[in-house]
């Protein structure tokens, strides 16, 4: 019944997956879950849905009338694969896609491509997924949070559907699932008893892959791999035979910058191009920068969608090299076989058809990478890891790999989530190289040395779920309507006590309700921010009395981590518990004395004391007139830093780390943009010269902090033991034991706190606890009992 065009039919038959059609279909008939592993480009995504289609799945009159669903971690893959399969099947409206903001589904749809986020949301409405007869979970090797969670949920749906269909086969049909992976690393799915009772069969498809020569750089560029990529692309383009170039960088900003440079250097259009062509080219380039109304929600989030950088941090325009530029980098481009003798004549005006590819790019601009490049031009695609396994771009012969990836990271100690650029894994570097060998033998230029590859690249990437703070993960799941997280079959499960604690924290924050443990409206808003839930909560409740700009600054500083040097960084004299007696402005006297001291070691000791005294004076200055909170002190530092013009000398004079201050600044900008995008009717902008908060605002800020740190409240031990009588007054908090919610150990306010020399409050909220000689509370704020 399928009427494919002859050329399509011929091309399909060459795909390795098509050689296994019988094996695959038999396995799917005999098992509810089947795993298919095969190299990128072997035909998994385009062909397996067609096998199912031809076998009658999704046909209204068949025994399996439900849809064929295919999930993808990325929007670009969902859209482009739907179009490709529709083209191959030679049908008009039977193959559709659905992504967050757009769908082509209709009553005629039989194969539906969608992002895994879309399917997770459908689960909320119909947990049995009754409209599907078979689901293909693609790109499982990526171990994205959404894909992992989806596989966990679907293992449950399978069992339910199987049981229900035994009772009434007419009403409920069993569901079949195919998990597809570009690598053989699937034991987390096959050997996980809580996921599937019987290990599902694994079908391995041997891919036909042309050889790819790998060329390592002799040296690894210190920072500017974008510049290095630019040079390498120029050389390939000028010297090597025809064939597309695929470049791997880490994020939007880098890609946009490199595309701009390349387009200036090697325009796509010949010098005498028609006005129409020039206008067309201009329009399509402009379409790239059109902003799609995509906000960084948990669904569909790819790391690159949330960028910490902004336009002010763009990579400096680098100089255009002269055409006869001194070639100081490795010249492996010279070492070609006889067939590959470079053009003697370096035609620097040869057009290069440069296209960006990253997931925030508008969909139609993304789709241009699949079109044939204009006659006489060479295709050059500058991509994030979207192009690693999700999409196959035809005609790529050269890969330029910076070896970097931007990934979500989580610091257990500080609770900071960040998007860091770091070396990718060996497995993913090999996937990237493989992109050059699909149409013929190819070359991969790695912009790093083999020593760096051997010694610094991890074998595999860590699953995303293990790079996320657990409260954040649980909140994400709840926002996808997955309520019972403790018994949830994660492919790589986090420890159970962590899950339980995470739910308690979320309950205290009001992100989930107490009884049902379901997400609240507040929780749903919190889930939109790339920071831990307690900080997100502060942002959301911070919209009162004009406090939001302060809250954004505070949350940014807390997320980055304390920028203040620790007094132990100053010198070794500082014993954490020793009281310093020179904090009261005797500095000038000391200074004079210093001149009179001959003995070097005594002078040294005095100098240290002086520094230390200056350090404490600075801390007290920032603490303000009513020092009740280390966090407010932090806010004052951020404000003072901006007021002073964000200079290095400010950092030195005020004992703060310049890099941390820079990061706080970037995060403030990003969070401000997200608040504007996600919170209706909120208009907040960054005012670098933020005025200090008023007395009322200070009080409100402390209440907001209390609400955010509601699971991190410490109570004076004597108050608990006396059954709530205020008892004796302590002149300072030094040596006064407190108790916190999650343990039975005495804890103490750290000497670096502004509260250390204040009368000991009954209640304090703290940002973190850490253990050295004792358990110390840091980032402390005095809490009024009536707020609790």
* Residues at the site binding ligand ADP, with contacts judged by CB under 6 A: 15, 38, 40-47, 80, 84, 370, 392, 394, 438
**Element of type H or E holding 177:** strand 176-181
Shortest separation between residue 289's beta carbon and ligand ADP, angstroms: 24
Question: Would you say 192 or 359 has its CB closer to ligand ADP?
Answer: 359
Neighbours of 60 (CB within 10 A): 6
Question: Would you say 44 or 668 has its CB closer to Mg ion?
Answer: 44
- Which of the ranges 45-53, 412-420, 623-631, 724-732 carries the binding residues for Mg ion, by CB under 5 A? 45-53
φ, ψ (nearest 5 deg) of residue 609:
-60, -40
Q: What is the 3-state secondary structure (H, E, C) of 721-768?
A: HCCCCCCCCCCCCCCCCEEECCCCCCEEECCCCCCCCCCCCCEEECCE
- Cβ contacts of 100 within 8 Å, gap of 6 or more: 75, 115, 117, 118, 294, 299, 300
Shortest separation between residue 44's beta carbon and Mg ion, angstroms: 5
Q: Which class for 771: exposed (0-12), middle (13-18), buried (19 or more C-beta within 10 A)?
A: exposed
Q: Could you give the CA distance from residue 394 to residue 406 in angstroms, rounded to a whole number?
A: 25
Q: Could you give the CA distance from residue 215 to residue 444 in angstroms, rounded to a whole number?
A: 6
Question: Would you say 244 or 627 has its CB closer to ligand ADP?
Answer: 244
Name the binder of 623 from Mg ion, ligand ADP, none, CB < 5-8 A by kind.
none
- Residue 431: beta bridge partners? none
Question: Would you say 45 or 619 has its CB closer to Mg ion?
Answer: 45
Cα–Cα distances in Å, from 588 out to 43, 613, 614, 622? 78, 11, 11, 21
Mapping DSSP to helix (H, G, I), strand (E, B) and coil, where does residue 508 land?
Answer: helix
Binders in 467-506 for Mg ion, by CB under 5 A? none
Q: Could you give the CA distance from residue 12 to residue 448 in angstroms, rounded to a whole number?
A: 37
The pair of structure tokens assigned to 220 is 């690894």
Cα–Cα distances in Å, from 338 out to 213, 232, 335? 15, 21, 9
The pair of structure tokens assigned to 332 is 């492996």
Q: Could you give the CA distance from residue 481 to residue 476 in angstroms, rounded to a whole number?
A: 9
Shortest separation between residue 292's beta carbon and ligand ADP, angstroms: 21
- Which of the ranges 43-51, 60-68, 237-245, 595-603 carries the binding residues for Mg ion, by CB under 5 A? 43-51
Question: Would you say 50 or 753 has its CB closer to ligand ADP?
Answer: 50
Q: Which residue is nearest to Mg ion (CB)?
A: 45
Shortest separation between residue 137's beta carbon and ligand ADP, angstroms: 13
- Which of the ranges 40-48, 61-69, 255-263, 464-472 carries the binding residues for Mg ion, by CB under 5 A? 40-48
Question: Would you say 182 or 296 has its CB closer to ligand ADP?
Answer: 182
Shortest separation between residue 90's beta carbon and ligand ADP, angstroms: 14
Binders in 676-705 for Mg ion, by CB under 5 A? none
Among 42, 45, 109, 220, binds Mg ion (CB under 5 A): 45
Name the binder of 392 from Mg ion, ligand ADP, none, CB < 5-8 A by kind.
ligand ADP
Question: Would you say 166 or 208 has its CB closer to Mg ion?
Answer: 208
Shortest separation between residue 179's beta carbon and Mg ion, angstroms: 12
Shortest separation between residue 150's beta carbon and ligand ADP, angstroms: 18
Question: Would you say 38 or 530 has its CB closer to ligand ADP?
Answer: 38
Name the binder of 181 from Mg ion, ligand ADP, none, CB < 5-8 A by kind.
none
Name the binder of 46 from Mg ion, ligand ADP, none, CB < 5-8 A by kind.
ligand ADP
- Residue 716: beta bridge partners? 738
Shortest separation between residue 410's beta carbon and ligand ADP, angstroms: 30
Name the binder of 666 from ligand ADP, Mg ion, none, CB < 5-8 A by kind.
none
The pair of structure tokens assigned to 642 is 């901006």
Shortest separation between residue 136's beta carbon and Mg ion, angstroms: 10
Question: Would you say 142 or 300 has its CB closer to Mg ion?
Answer: 142
Question: Would you say 44 or 612 has its CB closer to Mg ion?
Answer: 44
Shortest separation between residue 513's beta carbon and ligand ADP, angstroms: 42
Residue with tokens 């064939």: 243
Q: What angle do CA 264, 266, 270 make, to 5 degrees?
A: 105
- Cβ contacts of 148 within 8 Å, gap of 6 or more: 463, 464, 465, 490, 491, 492
Shortest separation between residue 36's beta carbon and ligand ADP, angstroms: 9
Q: Could you give the CA distance from residue 732 to residue 760 in angstroms, rounded to a whole number?
A: 5
Question: Would you say 40 or 417 has its CB closer to ligand ADP?
Answer: 40
Shortest separation between residue 45's beta carbon and Mg ion, angstroms: 3
Name the binder of 370 from ligand ADP, Mg ion, none, CB < 5-8 A by kind.
ligand ADP
Name the binder of 253 from ligand ADP, Mg ion, none, CB < 5-8 A by kind.
none
Do residues 119 and 71 touch, judged by C-beta distance below 8 A? Answer: yes
Beta strands 67-72 and 132-137 are: parallel
Do residues 416 and 560 touch, judged by C-beta distance below 8 A? Answer: yes
Number of residues that bind Mg ion (CB under 5 A): 2
- Which of the ranges 22-30, 36-44, 61-69, 253-261 carries the binding residues for Mg ion, by CB under 5 A? 36-44
Question: Would you say 133 or 390 has its CB closer to ligand ADP?
Answer: 390
Name the binder of 665 from ligand ADP, Mg ion, none, CB < 5-8 A by kind.
none
Q: Could you give the CA distance from residue 105 to residue 112 in angstroms, rounded to a whole number?
A: 7
Ordered strands of the 396-401 beta sheet: 212-216, 442-446, 396-401, 244-248, 378-383, 352-357
Cα dihedral 9→15→17→23 (10° resolution) = 60
- Cβ contacts of 584 within 8 Å, gap of 6 or more: none
Shortest separation between residue 392's beta carbon and ligand ADP, angstroms: 4
Shortest separation between residue 470's beta carbon and ligand ADP, angstroms: 32
Question: Would you say 214 or 393 has its CB closer to ligand ADP?
Answer: 393
Q: Could you give the CA distance from residue 351 to residue 403 in angstroms, rounded to a whole number?
A: 27
Taken as a whole, the chain contains a residue count of 788
Name the binder of 727 from ligand ADP, Mg ion, none, CB < 5-8 A by kind.
none
Name the binder of 394 from Mg ion, ligand ADP, none, CB < 5-8 A by kind.
ligand ADP
Question: Would you say 391 or 736 has its CB closer to Mg ion?
Answer: 391
Name the binder of 84 from ligand ADP, Mg ion, none, CB < 5-8 A by kind.
ligand ADP
Q: Could you give the CA distance from residue 689 to residue 694 in angstroms, rounded to a whole number?
A: 15
Neighbours of 219 (CB within 10 A): 15
Binders in 331-350 for Mg ion, by CB under 5 A? none
Question: Would you say 27 or 480 has its CB closer to ligand ADP?
Answer: 27
Q: Which class for 59: exposed (0-12), middle (13-18), buried (19 or more C-beta within 10 A)?
A: middle
Q: Please say whether the dihedral angle defined by the alpha carbons of residues 546, 549, 553 and 556, taken in this order, is positive or negative.
A: positive
Question: Would you say 228 or 388 has its CB closer to ligand ADP?
Answer: 388
Counting contacts by CB under 5 A, is residue 80 touching Mg ion?
Answer: no
Shortest separation between residue 12's beta carbon and ligand ADP, angstroms: 8
- Which of the ranges 21-29, 38-46, 558-566, 697-705 carries the binding residues for Mg ion, by CB under 5 A? 38-46
Shortest separation between residue 379's beta carbon and ligand ADP, angstroms: 13
Shortest separation between residue 428's beta carbon and ligand ADP, angstroms: 14
Question: Would you say 42 or 144 has its CB closer to ligand ADP?
Answer: 42
**Element of type H or E holding 410:** strand 404-411
Q: Which residues bind Mg ion (CB under 5 A)?
A: 44-45
């Amino acid at each position: 019944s399928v009427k494919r065009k002859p050329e399509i039919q011929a091309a399909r038959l060459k795909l390795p997956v098509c050689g296994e059609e019988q094996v695959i279909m038999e396995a799917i008939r005999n098992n509810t879950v089947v795993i298919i592993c095969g190299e990128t480009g072997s035909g998994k995504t385009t062909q397996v849905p067609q096998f199912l289609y031809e076998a009658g799945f999704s046909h209204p009159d068949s025994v399996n009338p439900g849809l064929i669903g295919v999930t993808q971690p990325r929007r670009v893959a969902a859209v482009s694969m739907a179009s490709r399969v529709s083209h191959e099947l030679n049908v008009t409206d039977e193959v559709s896609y659905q992504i967050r903001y757009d769908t082509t589904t209709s009553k005629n749809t039989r194969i539906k491509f969608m992002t895994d986020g879309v399917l997770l949301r459908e689960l909320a409405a119909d947990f049995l997924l009754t409209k599907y007869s078979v689901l293909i979970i693609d790109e499982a090797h990526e171990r994205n949070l959404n894909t992992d969670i989806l596989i966990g949920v679907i293992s449950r749906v399978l069992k339910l559907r199987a049981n229900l269909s035994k009772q009434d086969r007419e009403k409920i049909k069993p569901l079949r699932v195919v998990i597809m992976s570009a690598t053989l690393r699937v034991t987390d799915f096959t050997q996980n008893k809580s996921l599937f009772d019987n290990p599902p069969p694994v079908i391995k498809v041997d891919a036909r892959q042309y050889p790819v020569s790998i060329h390592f750089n002799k040296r690894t560029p210190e920072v500017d791999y974008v510049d290095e990529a630019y040079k390498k692309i120029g050389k390939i383009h000028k010297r090597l035979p025809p064939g597309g170039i695929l470049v791997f960088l880490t994020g939007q900003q880098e890609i946009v910058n490199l595309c701009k440079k390349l387009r200036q250097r090697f325009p796509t259009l010949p010098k005498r191009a028609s006005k129409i062509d020039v206008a067309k080219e201009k329009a399509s380039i402009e379409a790239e920068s059109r902003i799609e109304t995509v906000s960084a929600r948990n669904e569909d989030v790819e790391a690159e969608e949330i960028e910490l950088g902004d336009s002010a941090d763009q990579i400096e325009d680098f100089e255009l090299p002269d055409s006869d530029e001194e070639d100081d980098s490795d010249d492996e481009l010279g070492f070609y076989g006889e067939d590959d003798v470079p053009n003697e004549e370096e035609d620097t005006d040869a057009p290069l058809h440069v296209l960006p590819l990253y997931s925030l790019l508008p969909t139609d601009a993304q789709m241009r990478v699949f079109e044939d490049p204009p006659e006489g031009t060479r295709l050059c695609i500058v991509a994030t890891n979207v192009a690693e396994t999700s999409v196959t771009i035809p005609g790529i012969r050269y890969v330029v790999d910076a070896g970097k990836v931007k990934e979500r990271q989580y610091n257990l100690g500080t609770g900071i989530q960040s998007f860091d650029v770091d070396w990718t894994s060996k497995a993913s570097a090999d996937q990237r190289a493989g992109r050059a060998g699909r149409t013929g033998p190819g070359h991969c230029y790695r912009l790093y040395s083999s020593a760096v590859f051997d010694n610094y690249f991890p074998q595999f990437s860590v699953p995303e779920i293990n790079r996320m703070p657990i409260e954040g993960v649980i909140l994400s799941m709840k926002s996808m309507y997955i309520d019972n997280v403790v018994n949830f079959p994660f492919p790589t499960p986090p420890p159970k006590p962590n899950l339980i604690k995470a739910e308690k924290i979320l309950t205290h924050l009001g992100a989930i309700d107490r009884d049902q443990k379901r997400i609240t409206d507040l929780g749903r808003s919190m889930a939109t921010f790339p920071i831990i839930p307690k900080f997100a909560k502060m942002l959301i409740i911070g919209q009162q009395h004009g406090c939001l700009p302060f809250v954004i600054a505070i949350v940014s500083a807390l997320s980055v981590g304390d920028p203040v040097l620790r007094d132990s960084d100053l010198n070794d004299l500082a014993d954490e518990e020793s009281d310093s007696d020179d904090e009261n402005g005797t500095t000038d006297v000391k200074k004079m004395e210093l001149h009179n001291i001959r003995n070097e070691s005594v002078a040294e000791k005095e100098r240290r004391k002086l520094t230390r005294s200056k350090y404490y004076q600075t801390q007290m200055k920032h603490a303000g007139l009513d020092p009740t909170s280390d966090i407010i002190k932090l806010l004052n530092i951020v404000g003072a830093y901006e007021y002073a013009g964000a200079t290095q000398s400010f950092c030195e004079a005020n004992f703060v780390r310049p890099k941390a201050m820079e990061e706080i600044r970037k995060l403030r900008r990003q969070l401000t943009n997200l608040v504007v995008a996600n919170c209706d009717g909120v208009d907040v902008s960054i005012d670098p010269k933020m005025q200090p908060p008023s007395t009322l605002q200070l009080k409100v800020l402390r209440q907001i902090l209390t609400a955010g740190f509601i699971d991190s409240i410490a109570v004076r031990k004597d108050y608990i033991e006396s059954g709530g009588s205020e008892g004796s007054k302590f002149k300072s908090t030094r040596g006064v034991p407190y108790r916190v919610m999650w343990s039975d150990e005495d804890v103490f306010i750290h000497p670096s706190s502004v509260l250390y020399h204040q009368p000991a409050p009954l209640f304090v909220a703290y940002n973190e606890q850490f253990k050295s000689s004792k358990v110390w509370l840091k980032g402390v704020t005095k809490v009024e009992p009536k707020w609790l």
